Amino acid sequence: MYVVPSHLYSHLRLRTSPTLYTIFVPSQLLVIRLTFSDSSYGVVHGMSTGLYSLRANQPVPRLTLSFHIRSNTDAQPEALIGQESAPKPPPSLKDYTCKKQMKDNSKHIAELRKEMSIEEHKWDLQELYHYFNTHPEFGLPANFADQLLQSEGPNTLTPQHQTPEWLRLVKCMFQGFSMLLWAGAILCFLAYYVQESTMEFAPKDNLWLGVSLFFVVNINGIFSYYQQNKSSRIMQSFANMIPEFATVTRSGQKQILRVENVVIGDLVDIKCGDRVPGDIRIIESRGLKVDNSALTGESEPQARSTEMTHDSPSETKNLVFFSTNVVEGAAKGIVIRCGDNTTMGRIAGLTSHLKPRDTPIAKEIHYFIRLITCFALIMGFVFFSFSFILGYKWLDCVLFLIGIIVANVPEVENKLSLTDKGFTTLTQCATLCNKAEFKPGQKNVPIIKREVNGDASESALLKFTEQYVGDVMGKRKMNKKVYEIPFNSSNKYHVSIHESGKLNENGHVLMMKGAPERILEVCSTIFVNGKDYPLDTEYRKHFDDAYAELGGIGERVLGFCDCILPAGKYPKGFKFDSDLPNFPLTNLRFIGMISMIDPPRPAVPDAVGKCRAAGIKVTMVTGDHPTTGKAIAKLVGIISKDSETIEDIAKRLDLDPSEVDPNEAKAAVVHGEQLREMSDAELEKILKTHTEIVFARTSPTQKLSIVEGYQRLNEIVAVTGDGVNDSPALKKADIGIAMGISGSDVSKQAADMILLDDNFASIVVGIEEGRLIYDNMKKSITYVLASNVPQIVPFLMFVVLGIPLPLGVIAILCIDLGTDMVPAISLGYERSESDIMKRRPRCPYTDKLVNGKLIFLAYGHLGVIQTAAGFFNYFVIMASNGFLPKRLLRLREQWDSLVVNDLRDSYGQQWTYTARKRLEYTCHTAFFITVVITQWANLICCKTRRNSIVHQKMTNWFLNFALVFETCLAICLLYLPAMDTALKMYPLKIQWWLPGIPWAIILMIFDETRKYLIRRFPGGFFERETYY
């Protein structure tokens, strides 16, 4: 029985079937009464705002339901009469909408880690419509949708809480060694203030030292500040993936809304070129295909239809997901998830809330900082206390404390920024000497996937320069092309001439590209490291070697050259003519080559083999089918040819897989469905039992679980990925590696590094580079720490033996911030030693960047030799001026007294205070120059850890330059005018440079002997105790 006011009959839609009654009334009804006289499935479906909705899945025998519907109020049951109680109403829609915030962040992350439970793809359509209070033709009522939007919030991703800018800056200013430097600066200013208040002519040493430390710590803090803030960029990258508009049907009217206004239950239309505005159940499809690569890693478009083809939401064809792209066809669907509760939203939330692990090298640097900080503080306060007990004035004790702190802090920048002029010039030529253009309307298409008007080579160059230089068309507009000779098979080159005020004011620049050998023929000079050099036989040989190497691996190579045309001869408006060329086509400048290759990468199997040789386990985690994943793994060598899985063994022996001992199978292929049911212990057992593993059809949370499983086994995990689905694993890994070409912005921001060529084989090069960097950091730290000993011991002798101070704080600063800076950095450019890829991976828990062996070598061997050299020169100069070593003992108090102007030396000669101080500063300078000389030898020794310098050779030209720079800087500090007043650095006689040279030779002989014994007796005493 249907009781409806007669004036509303025109708005009534009535559908009946033997088991289903549905009433749709777009306006407000006064009374709806439904009577079920037999046992059938009943549905009361109301469309007014606040209308009570009931979905019954159980038979309703002889049940009468009656409702009063009031304007803008919830419906209340008037009567419920029957033999059985009514079915329970469905869960609130709030259970299925976005959870904007959770107070307990750990619970929130735990919730995000769980596999998302989606069941809606299994429901029949009528069940879906009634569950979400929607309709397949009319959608949601507009006022009901507005109410949902107000109660549940917009369809957006919740931004992560951001640390205020000022707080991040403060953290950068007061981290690591900065705290020690701040302490040193404050103590310097305090000491200067006291001296200024108590002395008529207070020395400026502490003032200049405080100012220097202040500038060092501020510059370092500001630099660090600009290197941070990854999380905010990650969320911004996710936000960039969200579509702006959606086509929605509400109350029977189709309208275009902003995506943030879409709510659960909305009926939406999607078509080719759209981004999906939510997680959607497809109810009607017309050849729909979507690009799920951002979520699943599968690059092929995926067909979508109304059929439920798999229990897993990620496998079934009747679901499409938020922010994925529609590449073909059209469809209609019901929104079942919005905002943070979508598949994409959960990945975004998990990625942004995960606390990234420090990379292994970052852990080592933090360990080094803690070690040196503790050592500096302990030494400083021991000296302070010891000096105070011995009767020194408190201000003198503070000065000792400053000296110890400054001497122990290695003031070397831990970051280096480099701009390659050659790369800039080469890409500029590739940008301008190129006719290819992107087809219009592809602004939001990834660069690598854009369609191009042009041949294959020029298209590749265009994508390359757009990716790594950016704004190609803008640069072309700034450098207007005025003449061109197109490429042809006879010339084998392409010439373009451009107006270019930036490169040649009021003139032109000629650029040419083509076959490398043809380009080289027309060149007479070559551009190297920002300078032009004659193209001689040696450079031609380098060219031949590089060309042969690139061609030998199947790459197509193009050569590039240019010529800046004189503005006087070729002014703006000049008419260029190629029939009788009135511009140069010879004597050009060769600027480089660019090579191109098409995937697949043939070098991957070799790269996997090299990883194995280096002790690195390679595991495949893929979105492909397990069979496909296994085949690819065998093809590239991740699964060896003779390796078998449990299934392979079972098939060979005609057994059930459960009867096979897992320990007999070297390889394993694990499906995501199996992984979903595994506990952490079961996953760890697989990771430990099998050395060759493929994980297939994995979800983002499962990839994260695999990373965490390896980390629980104390493994160092590197993850490569390119999609949004990889971002949680990339962020959690010890080293996240994103693909530079095909990778999404989200994956790049979550990663620690970017693989520019998307080539797995490059990772092996990266591993070697990483080992080289680690080696070179050890070498650089050894070099810096060794000079700490001759900086600390003089203060110790000053306090304990009471001798005049052998080395002043300003001289220490000249070493740490002056002569040691460039040499320490130059070791970062040292080439690898011969055994670098033959070593097993280091244990991160025992083989530290700064370990006991390194400290023992730096402090106990190299530093001791340098200290002996410094004191030798100190005593030589003192003895030359009448103060024999015995006379210097306990002389400090008289030596530093302003009122003593008749101090006698060993031969009875009297010394005034001013004369004594001049001699003392001369000794500071001599000690300083001796440290510099022994650091020459130390720098050469630190080039290798095992190899002889004879094998390594002096091929690091940055290091060679550093030796010259260090020497020239020392000469400037000694002999430039006013250095004696400003820095208390006095000119030395030539003979006072000489005492340090024998000690430098001794240091080199000692270290070469040590390395020889390490090579001669592997595992022997010298390797165990001194191979750092």
Residue 123 reports pLDDT greater than 80? yes
Residue 156 reports pLDDT greater than 70? yes
Most confident of 28-32, 234-238, 684-688: 684-688
**What would the two tokens of residue 482 be?**
């005025």
* Rg of the chain (C-alpha set): 38
What are the residues whose beta carbons fall under 8 Å from the beta carbon of 47, sequence distance 6 or more? 24, 25, 26, 133, 135, 138, 141, 144
Instruction: Indicate the Cα dihedral angle 876, 882, 885, 891, nearest 10°.
Output: -130
Whose CA is closest to 410, among 220, 173, 186, 189?
A: 220
**What would the two tokens of residue 880 be?**
């030359």
Rounded mean pLDDT of 645-662? 86
**Torsion sign (Cα): 444, 445, 446, 451:** negative
Q: Pick the residue with more confidence: 820 or 197?
A: 820
Q: Per-residue pLDDT tens for 240-288? A: 656 678 899 999 899 989 888 999 999 999 988 788 999 999 999 988 8
- Give the model's pLDDT for residue 740: 74
* Percent residues over pLDDT 90 in the chain: 22
- Give the model's pLDDT for residue 798: 87
CA dist 447 → 289, 471, 724 (Å): 21, 11, 17
How would residue 39 be classed by pLDDT, with cut points 50, 70 and 90?
Answer: very low
Rounded mean pLDDT of 534-554? 79
Mean pLDDT of the chain: 77
How far is residue 82's CA from residue 60's CA, in Å, rounded to a whole number?
9
Residue 866 reports pLDDT greater than 70? yes
Three-state DSSP class for residue 494: strand
- Give the model's pLDDT for residue 693: 92
How would residue 641 be classed by pLDDT, with cut points 50, 70 and 90?
Answer: confident
How far is residue 302's CA from residue 309's CA, in Å, rounded to a whole number?
13
Is residue 600 reached through a cis peptide bond, with omega within 30 degrees of 0 on the bond before it?
yes
- Give the model's pLDDT for residue 55: 35
Q: Residue 964, Cα to own-chain centre: how many angstroms? A: 35
Whose CA is closest to 123, among 341, 339, 311, 303?
A: 311
- Give the model's pLDDT for residue 1022: 86
Residue with tokens 């915030």: 101
How far is residue 249's CA from residue 154's CA, in Å, rounded to a whole number?
17
What angle, rounded to 10 degrees, do the helices at 913-941 and 957-975 form?
A: 180
CA dist 826 → 813, 942, 955, 966 (Å): 19, 11, 12, 11
Phi and psi of 256, rounded to 5°? -100, 120
Q: Are strands 753-755 and 735-739 parallel, antiparallel or unpaired?
A: parallel
- Give the model's pLDDT for residue 873: 95
Task: For 335-398, give the secondary structure using H, E and C.
Answer: EEECHHHCHHHHHHHHHHHCCCCCCHHHHHHHHHHHHHHHHHHHHHHHHHHHHHHCCCCHHHHH
Three-state DSSP class for residue 284: strand
What angle, rounded to 10 degrees, do the helices at 456-468 and 421-432 form?
A: 130
Q: Are strands 508-514 and 556-565 parallel, antiparallel or unpaired?
A: antiparallel
Rounded mean pLDDT of 441-449? 81
Q: Per-residue pLDDT tens for 389-402? A: 555 555 555 555 55
How far is residue 191's CA from residue 198's CA, in Å, rounded to a whole number?
11
Single-letter residue type at 541: K
Concatenated DSSP letters of 847-902? S-SS-HHHHIIIIIIIHHHHHHHHHHHHHHHHHHTT--HHHHTT-HHHHT-TT---
- Of 41-45, 582-586, 898-902, 972-976, the range with the lowest mean pLDDT is 41-45
- Give the model's pLDDT for residue 199: 67
Q: Per-residue pLDDT tens for 949-993? A: 988 889 999 999 999 999 999 999 999 988 888 778 899 999 999
Phi and psi of 397, rounded to 5°? -65, -40
Residue 506 reports pLDDT greater than 60? yes
Single-letter residue type at 840: R
CA dist 174 → 189, 214, 791, 802, 1018 (Å): 18, 12, 25, 36, 44
- Give the model's pLDDT for residue 229: 54
**What would the two tokens of residue 974 be?**
């000694």
How far is residue 575's CA from residue 276's CA, in Å, rounded to a whole number?
54
How far is residue 987's CA from residue 975's CA, in Å, rounded to a whole number?
5
* Structural element, H or E, at residue 812: helix 809-814
How many residues are there in the chain?
Answer: 1028
- Give the model's pLDDT for residue 53: 34
* Percent residues over pLDDT 70 in the chain: 73
- Give the model's pLDDT for residue 25: 38
Residue 518 reports pLDDT greater than 90? no
Q: What are the structural domains of the chain?
A: 6-89 (no CATH), 114-157+242-353 (2.70.150.10), 165-232+357-408 (no CATH), 421-596 (3.40.1110.10), 604-760 (3.40.50.1000), 772-1026 (1.20.1110.10)
Rounded mean pLDDT of 915-920? 93
How far is residue 219's CA from residue 216's CA, in Å, rounded to a whole number?
5
How far is residue 336's CA from residue 119's CA, in Å, rounded to a whole number?
10
Q: Pick the residue with more confidence: 149 or 169?
A: 149
Single-letter residue type at 48: S
Give me the long-range contacts of 834-837 (CB less than 8 A, separation at least 24): 834/947, 834/951, 835/946, 835/947, 836/768, 836/771, 836/772, 836/775, 837/610, 837/613, 837/614, 837/767, 837/768, 837/771
